[in-house]
Structure 1
Amino acid sequence: MTQSNSFLGFVHRRRRGAELFLLILALAVGIGAYAAVGLGVDGEVPTNIIGYGGWLALLTITSHVVVRFFAPYADPVLLPVVAALNGLGLAAIYRLDLADGTSFAQKQLVWMSVGVALFIGTLVLLRDHRILQRFTYTCGLAAIVLLLMPMMPLIGVTKNGARIWINLGPVGMQPGEVAKVLLVIAFAGYLVVHRDALALAGRRILFVDLPRGRDLGPILAMWLLSLAILVFQRDLGSSLLFFGIFLTMLYVATERPGWLVVGGSLFAVGALLGWRAFSHVQVRVDAWLDPFDDFYGSGNQIGESLFGMAWGGMLGRGLGQGSPFRIPFAESDFIVGALGEELGLTGLMAVIVLYGLIVERGLRTALVCRDAFGKLVASGLAVVLALQVFVVIGGVTKLIPLTGLTTPFLSYGGSSLVANWVIIALLLRISDQARRPVPDLSADTEASSSSEDTQVVSLR
């Protein structure tokens, strides 16, 4: 066997046994953290540990079985890493529930169940990711409708200064979380068709080939859409996320650094306009520059988070031993700060490594995918998670201004959790398609040629 064949043989291994082993470790992390929280706060293991652990194990093992039967060649690392993060997030939310008398962890477990159900449904019903390319403009239109829904009367709701929520009866959701998945599919379908035109070079400035002026329409449209989200919904995080997704996918599709120059310039102009024109952006920038100047006002959230992480130090106070409940909205916006206090810098770095693994496996899937649409969808979904994690952790650690996004799989929030489980299902579907052995047509070709030779002989 040649070296290339050996490499292909490695790629085409199913690795479901490795996935199961890693899932057992992930369950140990999630259930162990849940037990450690009970021991740290109450001095005893939670009384519902068997029911909680059993349900968590049922969700993860069921997901593994579905992957084994419906996506046998899928990446073996993604599902265990996501299970570990989700389990750790549930434990962190449960720790805050014990301090505040809330029940967010129970609700989050319900949302995890919904997310796993949609994860399973995506793998079972979507057998080939290339089918999604047919719905390019449908997905784009649906995404725009979802983004406009919070502005509608009766259903649109303003929370914490941002109008990004809708209420459908007793259920509230953020349509933007679903819109980000649909936008990736729409962007991928559009760029596959138009990438040749968008890749053409225009004027050359300082060793960089800028795009042609006639091709600036799509990126200007996304820039204006991002500004509209910032102006009307007062949501800095989603504005940055959507524009960053499109810009990154445009660069991946065309391989032209000039698009990064144009996009970076537009982002800088938009950020400056947002800071000068909108008071809510100015408040966040001021809190970022000096949170202790108004510690009991706009700087309280990030200030308490910084104090907590400093108190946690290198190894943390231990689960249940810190005071993360002092941070406002710690269960959602600032769960990274809560984990930093009780797990320390070491635990926080481990969490970042887990996110890095998800992004790396997503980009690896894009590299080995055989079709252009799959490459763009996989890279776009990986970029969604990478940008969201960077923006959230950057805001919590005072690297950049706060944006209000949730931390994938860790933060409390049903819309985000469900959408992210669907993202993982799509990545697994694409990786299964990419890692499958290429059908061997040589035997059919030889049989066909042999049949033709036989026919020729018979004619003679």
Structure 2
Amino acid sequence: MVTIITELSKYAMILSLAIYTVLGFRLVRRNEAGKKAALWQQNVLMFGMQFLGNLTLYLSTENEKILLFYIAQLGAFILFLVLQRVIYPNADQLLNHNMLLLLSVGLLMLARLSFDKAARQAELAALAAVLTFVIPVIIRKSGRLRNLYWLYGAAGFGLLAVVFIAGSITHGAKLSITVYGITLQPSELVKVLFVFFVAGMLHEAVDFKRIVLTSALAAAHVLLLVMSKDLGAALIFFVTYLVMLYVASRQPFYFLGGLLAGSAAAWVAWKLFAHVQTRVLAWSDPFSVIDKEGYQIAQSLFAIGTGGWFGLGINQGMPYKIPVVEQDFIFSAIAEEMGILFALLLIFIYLSSFYMILNIAIVLKDSYYKLVAVGLGTLMIFQVFLSIGGVTKFIPSTGVTLPFVSYGGSSLLGSFLIWSVIQGMYLKRSDEVTKVEREADEEKAKKEKKSKQSKQS
């Protein structure tokens, strides 16, 4: 009976996610009149997938903690959606749905791999969710944020410098610092500060002198990350800056020049750093060094290939054979047990979110917040590219986590922070639209009043 439920549930979950994804792309373009029903359908599909996944995991493990964990998730998700509707009725519900869906998939897979880590991740998610109620109102109401860009730059550079000097080494790179027993990865916070800093610099001016100054300061951030051997974060910072520079200046020359400089820097890093050479070797031919350097990526490819299009079913695979599977390689575990189709649909969830963020950026009138939205959207989607590209051998592994899905407090906090700022952007856009409509109504009322007065006279 358990085998039958496991087999049927994986097909039901793939079908539900496919319908959810199609609704997501349609919601981006649909007018307000048609959104309510589609959003309700997404809710039903999301909670249905959550129920099926946790039910399957419980039946295969007979661990009662899974049931309690599911009930706690369900209550927290419903409470979150209700509070969001009450506090921010004009917030973008599609972004909230996508965030919760990705989080639910991550918690399900973590509960299958390590229940203790899943419980810890859920606790951190509950704390980080507070940001989604605080940050949007700050973005929406505060008009002075753009004036503090030097503070953002100094704070971000300072945090990266602390990691470089006193950070602890993980897998050959200085990634984190420990304060009062709490381990933090500051680069996750600095990413957001970096976007606000660059947006402030390029919002004021885009002449050659300002671009040179901004590029030098951005390069200083990247150089610190390279010196700390956190090359995944360095690449994210670099690409995000190039995209923001292009959007601000509209000069392809800067973008192409940056790509050439980045390619040269990547070659130098490959020559200088032994762990970069190891990752390139593991990427180029993992099976020739499967006993050492290529073991992780080889096991990842085995897992994805074993799962096939429809997966083996939850708790039916062997994802624990992949080292650090809960963090860097969780996408492989999802593909093995939930199927390649399910994993591909998750990518489309990220793409629909990115599409929504670009829509927000396009319609925002304020050029500063437009740059912020573009920068944060680039951060999110490029991180997804690096994470999935690394585990599928499309590019060398960079040790980058998958937003909302991978295990890690700093990564989860950074993802919630980005989502919160984007919601603030959306609310700001709604305010702009409301203001334009109100001004149009006032202008129309004035014209009607003048017309009546002229008729009476």
Range into which the TM-score falls when normalised by the shorter chain: 0.7 to 0.9
- 8 Å CA contact 2:54, 2:67 repeated in 1: no
Offset at 1:21? 4.5
Structure 1 pair 433/124, CA: closer, same or farther in 2 (3 Å)?
A: closer
Equivalent residue number for residue 275 of structure 2:
280
Letter in 1 for 2:52: G
Q: Report the Cα distance in structure 2 between the residues aligned to 1:454 and 1:18, rounded to whole angstroms.
A: 44
Letter in 2 for 1:304: Q
Q: Deviations over 1:307-336 (max 9, x none)?
A: 111111111111110000000000001001
Task: Give secondary structure in 2 for the equivalent of 1:292.
Answer: helix
Q: Report the Cα distance in structure 2 between the residues aligned to 1:149 and 1:14, rounded to whole angstroms.
A: 50
Letter in 1 for 2:73: L
Structure 1 pair 54/303, CA: closer, same or farther in 2 (3 Å)?
A: same
- 8 Å CA contact 2:173, 2:229 repeated in 1: yes
Equivalent residue number for residue 141 of structure 1:
154
Q: Report the Cα distance in structure 1 between the residues aligned to 2:169 and 2:330, rounded to whole angstroms.
A: 22
Unaligned runs of 5+ in 1: 1-8, 199-212, 456-460
Residues 274-423 of structure 1 correspond to what in structure 2 (within 5 A)?
A: 274-423=269-418
Letter in 2 for 1:262: G
Which of 101, 105, 130 lines up with 1:84 in the alignment?
101
- 8 Å CA contact 1:63, 1:120 repeated in 2: no
Offset at 1:125? 4.4
1:122 aligns with 2:142: no
Equivalent residue number for residue 193 of structure 2:
182
TM-score by length of 1: 0.85
Letter in 1 for 2:133: I
Equivalent residue number for residue 429 of structure 1:
424
Q: Report the Cα distance in structure 2 between the residues aligned to 1:214 and 1:411, rounded to whole angstroms.
A: 38
Equivalent residue number for residue 171 of structure 1:
182
- 8 Å CA contact 1:27, 1:83 repeated in 2: no
Which of 50, 71, 92 lines up with 1:30 in the alignment?
50
Letter in 1 for 2:214: P
Offset at 1:18? 4.9
Task: Tell me the percent identity.
Answer: 31
Q: Report the Cα distance in structure 1 between the residues aligned to 2:410 and 2:417, rounded to whole angstroms.
A: 11
Q: Report the Cα distance in structure 2 between the residues aligned to 1:351 and 1:186, rounded to whole angstroms.
A: 31
TM-score by length of 2: 0.85
Equivalent residue number for residue 225 of structure 2:
229
Q: Report the Cα distance in structure 2 between the residues aligned to 1:420 and 1:377, rounded to whole angstroms.
A: 15
- 8 Å CA contact 2:328, 2:406 repeated in 1: yes
Q: Report the Cα distance in structure 1 between the residues aligned to 2:423 and 2:39, rounded to whole angstroms.
A: 12
- 8 Å CA contact 2:140, 2:428 repeated in 1: no
Q: How many matched pairs?
A: 423
Superposition CA RMSD, Å: 2.6
Offset at 1:112? 0.8
Q: More displaced, 396-405 or 428-437?
A: 428-437
Equivalent residue number for residue 52 of structure 1:
69
Structure 1 pair 434/214, CA: closer, same or farther in 2 (3 Å)?
A: closer
Q: Deviations over 1:397-430 (max 9, x none)?
A: 1111110111101100011111111211111121
1:441 aligns with 2:439: yes
Equivalent residue number for residue 82 of structure 2:
65
Letter in 1 for 2:128: G
Task: Give secondary structure in 1 for the equivalent of 2:118.
Answer: helix
Q: Deviations over 1:198-221 (max 9, x none)?
A: 5xxxxxxxxxxxxxx884343244
Q: Report the Cα distance in structure 1 between the residues aligned to 2:285 and 2:271, rounded to whole angstroms.
A: 18
Structure 1 pair 120/21, CA: closer, same or farther in 2 (3 Å)?
A: farther
Q: Report the Cα distance in structure 1 between the residues aligned to 2:448 and 2:306, rounded to whole angstroms.
A: 77
Q: Report the Cα distance in structure 1 between the residues aligned to 2:32 and 2:152, rounded to whole angstroms.
A: 32
